[in-house]
Structure 1
Amino acid sequence: MKTKFYLPVMVLFAMLSFSCSTEEFPENEANNITLQNAPAAKSIEIEILELINAHRIELGLNPLNNLNIIKSVAYSHTDYMVSVNQVNHDNFFQRKSSLEQHASATKVSENVAYAFSSAQSVVNAWINSEGHRANIEGDFTDFDISAEQNEEGKWYYTNIFIKR
């Protein structure tokens, strides 16, 4: 009986959140993205960043620094996901290239998610997923996030981590 319950829950979780890092894909040509001015931080974004840093500190890891350029890059992707109504890692290497150029990043990873209604729920989902947790607990120095709602009020998230 438990299997019947857990299998659909796991499938739903896999569909609603994804992680990506530079180690997962072969490098290819990447054009830089156009940087947009990100809107001011929302309370849900601040709470997500605080929860991630609290988790890192609890494990004895260094807290990550917020970096506005990361927020701008994350915002451009979140805005894109909202416009195509799909959570994805499209154009990841463009974001990576932009952060290498504008933030001196040597390593870039991202977590994306959709439809989680609170900071705690999206962070819990990421921590309970091996790939997402690896990004959260990884060897990074800076991070930021963009959370945007679509017309139906569903949240889309892009959380980017870099090492400088």
Structure 2
Amino acid sequence: MNKNFITSIFTVAGIIALAGCTFESKNNVIQSPEITTIENFESSEIIPTIEKNNLIVNNNQDLDSLASLAHQQVNQYRQSKNLPPLTLNESISEQARIHSQNMAQGKSPFSHEGFEQRIKLIGSTIAYRSAAENVAYNQGYRDPATSAVEGWLKSPGHYKNIIGDYNLTGMGVAQNSRGEYYFTQIFVLENN
């Protein structure tokens, strides 16, 4: 059997992993999003609304470009649902980038470990009411940003964060020597 074919099957079957987390400042509690059934939820309804770019990603792809692409795709999806776009915030993106780098370097597990600390750091400059986080990693995809966003949209917990009542976001991407891409998106609702 063709080695590339086998590698592709294993890559598609199991490489993308996802996790979501929310944080409410008034309750001071971290929780994983509940997996709920979304009525009339079909992946065919979701995926076509992400405009596919002709961008082909390789190991030399600029990580900031991947973060920007993922942010654009999340906003495209939100706008397709008549939701306002999320404003990209550099201080939130810095926390997302650091978390992605820590996961890629093995300094922290693929998880939301340290989410409360990231939110406290963000809260020192942005008064907020609530926050959430999506993380993803993948390997072997021609377009890792689109793969991450599509995976989030297929997951009820991540989907809930993407369409949630937030107005600011930060996106961070890192890659390790094994070619794994780690994505972190933090969502924030400012306290107006």
Range into which the TM-score falls when normalised by the shorter chain: 0.7 to 0.9
**CA drift at 1:89:** 0.5
Q: TM-score, normalised by structure 1?
A: 0.78
- The equivalent of 2:102 in structure 1 is 80
1:131 pairs, out of 157, 172, 188, with: 157
Is 1:69 the equivalent of 2:70?
no
Same amino acid, percent of matched pairs: 27
RMSD (Å) for aligned C-alpha atoms: 2.4
Q: How many residues align?
A: 142
1:94 pairs, out of 94, 114, 117, with: 117
Structure-2 separation of matches of 1:21 and 1:47: 23
Structure-1 separation of matches of 2:86 and 2:68: 13
Look up the equivalent residue of 2:20 and give its one-letter code: S
- Give 5+ residue unaligned stretches, structure 1: 1-7, 29-39
Distance 1:153 1:88, change over 3 A: same
Q: TM-score, normalised by structure 2?
A: 0.67
Write out aligned runs for 1:111-122 (5 A).
Answer: 111-116=134-139, 117=141, 118-122=144-148
**SS of 1:77 mapped into structure 2:** helix
Highest Rg: 1 or 2?
2
**CA drift at 1:41:** 6.3
Moved over 6 A (4+): none
Write out aligned runs for 1:1-164 (5 A).
Answer: 12=14, 16-22=17-23, 27=28, 42-84=64-106, 86-116=109-139, 117=141, 118-164=144-190
- The equivalent of 1:5 in structure 2 is none
**SS of 2:128 mapped into structure 1:** coil
- Give 5+ residue unaligned stretches, structure 2: 1-9, 30-61
Structure-2 separation of matches of 1:107 and 1:65: 15
- Greater share of residues in helix: 1
**CA drift at 1:27:** 3.4
